[in-house]
Structure formats: C-alpha cells, structure tokens
Amino acid sequence: MTTGKPRVLATRHFPTAVEARLAANFDAVLNPEDRIYDGTALIEAAKGCDAIMCAAGDALNAATVAGLPASVRMIATFSVGYEHVDVAAAAKRGIIVSNTPDVLTDATADIAMLCLLGAARRAHEGIDMLRTHSWTGWTPTQLMGVHVTGKRLGILGMGRIGQALAERARAFRMQIHYSNRSRLPADLERGAVFHAEPDAMLPHCDFLSINAPMTAATRKWVNAERIAKLPKGAIVVNTARGGVVDDEALIAALKGGHLAAAGIDVFDGEPRIHQGYYGLTNAFLLPHMGSATVETRNAMGFKALDNLEAFLLRKQAPPDLVKAS
C-alpha cells in the first residue's frame, strides 16, 4: 500500500526519536534488526525508494551506486564523513548526497581527550588489573604513565573538532601546535602555533591527535617515516578515520618503544581491526564511540532528516549538500 509520501530506506536501526520522525514524514523502510546490507542487498532494498538514509560503513561504493534503482534521488548519510559514499558516482547518476556536520563536534572532542588521557595514564592496564583481581595494592612505581599538563599537543586537521580539542587541552595548559590546509584567523588560533607543512609539526608533538578527514592525501598518513619524526615517548591519538593511520607502522612503534602509547577510537576496516592491537597493553582502544551520546546521535539523525525533508518535501537544496570533487 502506498502512502503518497516519498519512500526512504533506512539502512540501519537509528535512534527511536529519529525513526519516529522519519516514519511520520516519509514512507519509511526501517531496519529494526540492524542487519548489515552488502551492496547487492542494499540495491534490492532500495527498490521503489526515493532516498536512502545511510550510515558510516555502508557499502555505497561506485558499484553499488551504479546499481541503485532509478527512483533513488538522494543519499543522506548519518555522519560527517562521507568516504563510504562514492559522491562522484552518485553525481553521475543525478543522486545528491548530504551529511551531518557541526552536531558531533563536542562529543568527538570529548572522546579525543578521553583517548589522550587514557593512553597517557595507562587506564587500560589499570582497569584490567582490577577486573582480573590482580591488584595487590598501591606501590611507588605502579602504572607510571606520561604527564599531560603543560605538554605539547599537535593537531592534524584544525577544523571544528580539532579546535574543540584544543579548547579542552588548554585546560591542561597544553601548548597547541597544528597543521591545517589554511591558517586560522588569530581569534580562532588563540596562540596555537601553525605549521604549513604537517611534517614540520611532528618534532614538536609530545601528543599527536589526528582530526583530519579521510582523503587520498591522508590515507595512511601516519606511517613509519612520520612516526620516526615524533619525539621518543610520544603518544598518538586517532578519533578521525582509521585509514589515516598505517596500522603496521603504529603497532611496530608501540611494540618497539618509540611511542609510549596510543589512544584509538577508529580503525581501518572496522570492525575487523588489525589483530596486532589486541595484544598491546599500551594501546587504549574504543569501539568508534566518538559521537555516542543520546543528544549527539539524535542531533545527527535530525540533521539527516532536515536534509531529506528539504529536498523531498520542499523541493529545496539540502542545507548540508556534499559537492562532488
């Protein structure tokens, strides 16, 4: 039975409030079991749909986009990053793409700070010690980590999340260095040291936080050569995209002692992460939790719906249109 409303396929199980609004305004095809669609299944599920509301990790590569039904006119991703959607392939099909910027800045910056502190202060080892009943009491040399206050923090990618992390780090009196495609105005820079060449920033990083988007230029940017430029005992934090880090190089540096620790929330190929991470006591690992607050996930969903409603219901350009490069 048709409702007369535009039909939207939800590729994942989204927060309750988001799905309620989706169902109220559209003929919603929901996924309550949260099954993962491969490309073939996604194409099949999209039959008769006007749009797709997807999420990070969905298989919207060139082959999938090419096979989508002619009825599909829009892809709204429940994420800021859109590397999982082949935007160029969508443009060739006349399919527009939108994302959800601005709303997950604070939540992700909080997790970046958690990763930084967790890695520096050996939180993973301390938690394991308690949960395995192996803690025998305080000792003068137990779990001595790396001091954070007053240290140098290098930020690769000084967009909204990078700036929000810098704001939090200033509370620890950290000295901020950053590299970005362009220098920030002085009122946003707030005394941070700009490095036009990101490699030149690395020797000044007691901590290096990756906050850059995943692009062809940043793919495996954190490699063995660049890790070697970091001071011995540095700590690497990644809450951006897993593919920015060369896993083999990072794991080798953590095992070999050049890096003291790493705090990681995102992984290349997740959820099938590199097996080498599991045996590292000096890796503080989280399962892609950057935006995982009720408030943030609802805001992401509502922003995706704002885009869908603008295009499908009001025949307007989505406010968060992603342009093909």
pLDDT in tens, 255-271: 999 999 999 999 999 99
Average pLDDT, rounded, for the chain? 96
pLDDT of 21 higher than 60: yes
Q: Encoding tokens for residue 87?
A: 């935007």
In a domain, 280, yes or no: yes
The whole-angstrom separation of Cα 204 and Cα 200 is 8
| 1 located within any domain | no
Token reading at 130: 């308690």
Query: pLDDT confidence of 2, banded at 50, 70, 90?
Result: low
Active-site residues: which are they? 241, 270, 288
Long-range Cβ contact pairs of 74-77 (< 8 A, separation 24 or more): 74/50, 74/98, 74/307, 74/308, 74/311, 74/312, 74/318, 75/51, 76/51, 76/52, 76/304, 76/305, 76/307, 76/308, 76/318, 77/53, 77/304
Instruction: Specify whether 37 is located in the same domain as 68.
Output: yes
Instruction: Tell whether the model's pLDDT for residue 72 goes beyond 70.
Output: yes
Q: Is residue 45 part of a domain?
A: yes
Looking up residue 268, the CATH number of its domain turns out to be: 3.40.50.720
Question: Considering its fold, how many domains does the chain have in total?
Answer: 2
| Amino acid at residue number 176 | I
Q: What is the pLDDT of residues 171-192, one digit of tens each?
A: 999 999 999 999 999 999 999 9
Residues 76 and 217 in one domain: no
Same domain, 98 and 117: no
Q: Assess whether pLDDT exceeds 70 at residue 254.
A: yes
Task: Sort strands 207-210 and 152-156 into parallel, antiparallel or unpaired.
Answer: parallel
Reply yes or no on whether the pLDDT at 1 is more than 70.
Answer: no
Residue 308, φ and ψ in degrees, nearest 5: -65, -45
On whether both 99 and 114 belong to a single domain, the answer is no
pLDDT tens digits for range 40-59? 999 999 999 999 999 998 98
Are 97 and 109 within one domain?
no
The yes-or-no verdict on residue 3 having pLDDT over 80 is no
For residues 200 and 281, state if they share a domain. yes
> What per-residue confidence (pLDDT) applies to 255?
98
| Structure confidence by residue, pLDDT tens digits, 185-211 | 999 999 999 999 999 999 999 999 999
222 and 177 together in one domain? yes
The alpha carbon torsion through 250, 256, 262, 267 (nearest 10 deg) reads 30
Token duo for residue 137: 């009491």
Q: Are residues 127 and 245 in the same domain?
A: yes
Assess whether 217 and 305 both reside in one domain: no
In a domain, 238, yes or no: yes
Amino acid at 108: T
Taking the complete model, does pTM exceed 0.75, yes or no? yes
Residue ranges making up the domain that contains 93:
7-103+294-322
* One domain, residues 250 and 112: yes
* pLDDT tier, 324 (very low <50, low <70, confident <90, very high otherwise): confident
